[in-house]
Amino acid sequence: APLFQALARLELADGNLTEALEAHKRAFESDPQNAGLALELGRFAADLDDHEAASRAFRAVTMMRGVTP
């Protein structure tokens, strides 16, 4: 997940929003129990109107037990 998170930050810094979102999705896929990462993906996806990805990420957070973001 850290590699994809770093890639997402680089893509975002370069203004490549679609690529940044894809990197966020890959980071979450590689670490689906990371509540902070799920929240970050959910917010970013919602900002880019990718409601499906945002819902999936936020739903994952609500299903997690005993973790705090």
pLDDT tens, residue by residue, 3-24: 999 999 999 999 999 999 999 9
pLDDT above 90 (res 60): yes
Predicted confidence at residue 68, as pLDDT, reads 56
pLDDT above 80 (res 66): no
Give a three-class secondary structure readout of the chain: CHHHHHHHHHHHHCCCHHHHHHHHHHHHHHCCCCHHHHHHHHHHHHHCCCHHHHHHHHHHHHHCCCCCC
pLDDT above 80 (res 65): no
Predicted confidence at residue 67, as pLDDT, reads 56
| Whole-angstrom distance, CA of residue 22 vs CA of residue 60 | 17
